[in-house]
């Protein structure tokens, strides 16, 4: 333990404090299990915000990665390579879209979508120069560049970082009517997450995406979906928008696309949208490099070959059911889709962060969002037995909390669930 405290202190001394990590020092991981420097094992119920959807150190990913790294890793896009085409062909086929532009991080792919949408607005809709506007959702999360945090509703993301570029308008999430009212002649696109992850795994009302699709068709707008976190099986479909059987004009992917080992992102879109890019209009030194392409291709193949999308649907339903059955008095809501579940905590009873600390002690890695929601998003390779293992610990941690509705603490979980029933 002293060892890890020393390591943490040393890290903090030289690291900008833009994160507040849980007090654990991880040193290795395989599959859904991670080990700290003291040899203690943890079940990863967070999977790096979906970046590790395939589990840690997937053997096929490691093999593809090391083979490709030894053969040809980084070339820049000044040259063709023999892996970029196969990777993007697979991506295009899976999404039902036409053309992809590879980048590295999620935020870069969002920036790419913003550029594409604006240029499309000027060229295809004749919007006046520099007047294009993109409608976004309240409580959105699309990354951390200055343009993106500029349209965030979270003050802590924005404070002190202005001036921000204009051209964005925020509209309440889940309200298609409000989105309709916000459209003007300057609007070129609607950009939303199909399920808001960082906001606390917030599901819109059923039919929302369909309504947005109809709105965009009617008013000639682009529907841009940020599926950096919700995509690639996380919600029990390949892409969250498939729950409503719609097709976006632009689809933003990242996180799991890198197989848990490397940043790989992309904007995938219709030919009509992606045609706005010509040589020189956009780029990235590392975007689409052979190593990234090979890893991305292998990640997609692993998800397909191992049936991880179906697995996410089935085990996600099980996890949701188990968490709902917990009936703790401090839980305000349990919601989610696939292996992506948020447990909202009554903030007067406990902080989600302190629950994360307690879970950590029991050997479960989780992370709160906005202090009130516990997030469970394990690798899609998790087994039912491992979910049971986690649930035992989760139930124990919740059972230890005092009942917020009892004037005297120490209500047993059985009494607590009775009281709520």
Ligand X SMILES: *Cc1c(COP(=O)(O)O)cnc(C)c1O
We find the least distance from the C-beta atom of residue 256 to ligand X, in angstroms, to be: 11
Q: Pick from 32, 107, 134, 391: which binds ligand X (CB under 6 A)?
A: 107
Residue of 36, 211, 226, 249 marked catalytic: 226
* Nearer to ligand X (CB atom), residue 148 or residue 352: 148
Residues 38-67 that bind ligand X (CB under 6 A): 49
Q: How many CB atoms lie within 10 A of CB 174?
A: 17
Is residue 151 among the annotated active site residues? no
Is residue 185 among the annotated active site residues? no
Rounded CA separation 19/360 (Å): 17
* Nearer to ligand X (CB atom), residue 228 or residue 382: 228
Nearest to residue 110, comparing CAs of 164, 189, 172? 189
* Nearer to ligand X (CB atom), residue 29 or residue 137: 137
Both tokens assigned to 27: 């040193």
We find the least distance from the C-beta atom of residue 374 to ligand X, in angstroms, to be: 17
* Nearer to ligand X (CB atom), residue 49 or residue 239: 49
* Nearer to ligand X (CB atom), residue 143 or residue 200: 143
DSSP letters for 131-198: --EEEEETT----SSHHHHHT-S-HHHHTT-------EEEE-TT-HHHHHHH--TTEEEEEE-SSBTT
Distances (CA, A) of 155 to 96, 160, 171, 286: 37, 9, 16, 32
Q: Pick from 31, 102, 106, 260: which binds ligand X (CB under 6 A)?
A: 106
Is residue 333 among the annotated active site residues? no
105: contact with ligand X by CB under 6 A: yes
* Nearer to ligand X (CB atom), residue 216 or residue 232: 232
We find the least distance from the C-beta atom of residue 51 to ligand X, in angstroms, to be: 8
- For the chain, the straight-line distance linking the first and the last C-alpha, in angstroms and rounded, comes to 42
Q: Pick from 95, 229, 289, 329: which binds ligand X (CB under 6 A)?
A: 229
367: contact with ligand X by CB under 6 A: no
> Is the Cα torsion angle 89, 95, 96, 98 positive or negative in sign?
negative
Residues 242-271 that bind ligand X (CB under 6 A): 254
Rounded CA separation 317/209 (Å): 22
197: contact with ligand X by CB under 6 A: yes
We find the least distance from the C-beta atom of residue 140 to ligand X, in angstroms, to be: 8
Cβ-contact 110, 250 below 8 angstroms: no
Residue of 44, 87, 90, 141 marked catalytic: 141
Both tokens assigned to 265: 């992102």
Q: Pick from 133, 193, 298, 403: which binds ligand X (CB under 6 A)?
A: 193
We find the least distance from the C-beta atom of residue 143 to ligand X, in angstroms, to be: 4
Question: Interacting stretch for ligand X, rule CB under 6 A, among 19-27, 100-108, 119-127, 362-370?
Answer: 100-108
Q: Pick from 42, 87, 120, 141: which binds ligand X (CB under 6 A)?
A: 141
We find the least distance from the C-beta atom of residue 144 to ligand X, in angstroms, to be: 6
We find the least distance from the C-beta atom of residue 414 to ligand X, in angstroms, to be: 38
Size of the site for ligand X (CB under 6 A): 14
Distances (CA, A) of 376 to 49, 229, 238, 299: 9, 13, 19, 22
Cβ-contact 177, 208 below 8 angstroms: no
**In the complex, residue closest to ligand X by CB:** 106
We find the least distance from the C-beta atom of residue 263 to ligand X, in angstroms, to be: 6
Instruction: Give yes or no for a cis peptide into 306 (omega within 30° of 0).
Output: no
DSSP letters for 221-273: -EEEEE-TTTTTTTTSSSSGGGGGT---SEEEE-GGGGTTTS--EEEEE-HHH
143: contact with ligand X by CB under 6 A: yes
Phi first, then psi: give them for residue 138, nearest 5 degrees: -60, 145
Residue of 151, 255, 398, 403 marked catalytic: 255
139: contact with ligand X by CB under 6 A: no
Q: Pick from 111, 226, 249, 403: which binds ligand X (CB under 6 A)?
A: 226
The residues with which 212 forms a beta bridge, in sequence order, are none
> Is the Cα torsion angle 123, 124, 126, 131 positive or negative in sign?
negative
Which residues contribute to the site for ligand X (CB under 6 A)? 49, 105-107, 110, 141-143, 193, 197, 226, 228-229, 254
- The set of catalytic residues is 141, 226, 255
């Amino acid at each position: 333990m002293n060892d890890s405290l020393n390591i943490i202190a040393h890290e903090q001394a030289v690291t900008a404090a833009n994160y507040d990590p849980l007090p654990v020092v991880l040193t290795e991981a395989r599959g859904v299990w991670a080990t700290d420097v003291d040899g203690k094992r943890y079940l990863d119920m967070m999977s790096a915000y979906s970046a590790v959807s395939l589990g840690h150190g997937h053997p096929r990913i490691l093999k593809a990665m090391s083979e490709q790294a030894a053969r040809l890793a980084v070339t820049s896009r000044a040259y063709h390579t023999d892996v970029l085409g196969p990777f993007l062909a697979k991506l295009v086929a899976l999404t039902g879209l036409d053309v992809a532009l590879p980048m590295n991080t999620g935020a870069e792919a969002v920036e790419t979508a913003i550029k594409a949408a604006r240029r499309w607005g000027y060229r295809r809709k004749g919007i006046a120069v520099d007047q294009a506007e993109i409608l976004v959702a309240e409580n959105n999360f699309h990354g951390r560049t200055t343009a993106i945090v500029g349209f965030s509703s979270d003050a802590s993301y924005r404070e002190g970082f202005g001036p921000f570029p204009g051209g964005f308008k925020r509209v309440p999430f889940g309200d298609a009517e409000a989105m309709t009212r916000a459209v003007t002649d300057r609007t070129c696109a609607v950009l939303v997450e199909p399920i808001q992850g960082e906001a606390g795994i917030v599901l819109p009302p059923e039919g929302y995406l369909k309504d947005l699709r109809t709105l965009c068709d009617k008013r000639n707008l682009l529907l841009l979906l940020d599926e950096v976190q919700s995509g690639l099986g996380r919600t029990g479909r390949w892409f969250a928008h498939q729950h409503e059987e719609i097709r976006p004009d632009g689809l933003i992917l990242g996180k799991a696309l890198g197989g848990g080992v490397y940043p790989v992102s992309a904007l995938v879109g219709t030919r009509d949208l992606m045609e706005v890019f010509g040589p020189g209009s956009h780029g990235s030194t590392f975007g689409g490099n052979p190593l990234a392409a090979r890893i991305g291709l292998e990640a997609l193949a692993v998800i397909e070959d191992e049936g991880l999308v179906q697995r996410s649907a089935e085990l996600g339903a099980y996890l949701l059911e188990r968490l709902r059955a917990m009936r703790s008095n401090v839980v305000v809501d349990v919601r989610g889709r696939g292996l992506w579940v948020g447990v909202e905590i009554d903030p007067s009873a406990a902080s989600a962060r302190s629950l994360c600390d307690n879970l950590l002690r029991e050997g479960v890695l989780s992370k709160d969002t906005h202090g009130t929601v516990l997030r469970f998003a394990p690798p899609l390779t998790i087994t039912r037995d491992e979910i049971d293992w986690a649930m035992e610990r989760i139930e124990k941690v919740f059972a230890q909390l005092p009942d917020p509705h009892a004037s005297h603490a120490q209500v047993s979980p059985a009494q607590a669930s009775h009281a709520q029933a």
